[in-house]
Copies of this chain bind each other. A is one copy, B any other.
Amino acid sequence: MLVCRRVQSHTSPVNVDAELSRLGALVDGWTRAALAESISPQALRLGAMLEYHLGWRDEQLQPLSTAAPAGKKLRPALALLVCQAVSGDIAAARNAAVAVELIHNFSLVHDDIQDHSELRRHRRTVWSVWGMPQGINAGDALFALAQRVLVGDRSALAAAMSAELNSTALLLAEGQFLDIDLQLGQTPVTLQAYESMITRKTGVLFACACRLGAMAAGAAANVSEAYAAYGLELGLAFQEQDDLLGVWGSAVETGKPEAADVVERKRGLPAAMALSFGDAPAWLRSAYAEPDGAADPQLVQRIIAHFDRLDLRATVEQRVERRYRQALEHLAAAGAREPARGYLAAICAALVARKT
């Protein structure tokens, strides 16, 4: 859950969770409708697999009376709120919101195959239930569906939004390429490599969601640009906070094992920083040189002690805080209207301050 910790100091108090739930339910409804009208009767089981991934069916492909948790739907909420911040209404961003959420889910379905992950959100992944070939195919179907929804009204504006979305989708593929290369040890882990990767894997889709929301509302180019800049800082702050929690987060609060990212030798921001220093010790390099680090508790403690000696926790916190302030500046520059502005500021504050 997104609990607003710093919100009061920066913005008027708003109930972000309630607004995100409301918008998420709208996006779910629109996505269900898009799926229902897009899949042929001959391939209903394919549609049902997509609905399984989206949390609406169980492994036997039976409808769930209560949907399984399927993410916070932040990206479509950003598209809708930015549209409202520009135009006063969310309606124009409906297709864009559904499209960015579907693109996000397409990337998750393929990511789970690439990472050989058998679980996501405490449920079995599509490929692990129906096999790798159907997993690849389910991702491809989500990708095509996203595109189809976005250009549904066949307008020039839709074409412009599609050009933006697909420049983003290409960057997502570049980010995935860089991530796999880092995981395979084909590229040395440096702060620069990390930034190239994570900007593409996480930042650009947040930026795109905001840009599409503004475009859908008919914003001028410089206004769309300001919202995209807000989204980029927000996405990167979100990711960096995630990387921080992966090393120093409380196991009680995150629900993950203590220092999970160090145990798994994830090439997150703290590791990228530590390895970027010219004098990174040989033992640290070799600990991160293996594609998967062994769970040696002493080595894990030694790595964390090294990060602490470099004061990396505070360094990451400062980066996150700086991005947070920059995001708010972009929001102000965009001239966002209330009440959407309040929610956009509060989402930013809540993401940055979260402990889970």
Contacts and interface: CB of A to CB of B under 8 A. Distances in A.
A54 interface: no
Contacts of A155: 156, 159
Interface stretch (A135-143, A223-231, A236-244): A135-143
A48 to B, nearest CB: 11
A180 interface: yes
Interface string A166-184: 1101111110111011001
A26 interface: no
A326 interface: no
Contacts of A131: 180, 184
A134 B114 CA distance: 8
Interface stretch (A38-46, A63-71, A245-253, A267-275): A38-46
A295 B94 CA distance: 54
A129 to B, nearest CB: 13
A141 B196 CA distance: 17
A47 to B, nearest CB: 9
A181 B43 CA distance: 10
23 contacts: A40-B171, A42-B174, A42-B196, A45-B177, A46-B174, A114-B132, A114-B137, A133-B176, A133-B180, A134-B177, A137-B176, A137-B180, A141-B170, A143-B169, A144-B173, A147-B147, A147-B165, A148-B169, A151-B163, A154-B156, A154-B163, A156-B158, A162-B162
Top-3 shortest CB links A-B: A144-B169, A114-B133, A43-B174
Interface of A: 38-40, 42-43, 45-46, 110, 113-115, 131-134, 136-137, 139-141, 143-145, 147-148, 151-156, 158-160, 162-163, 165-167, 169-174, 176-178, 180-181, 184, 196
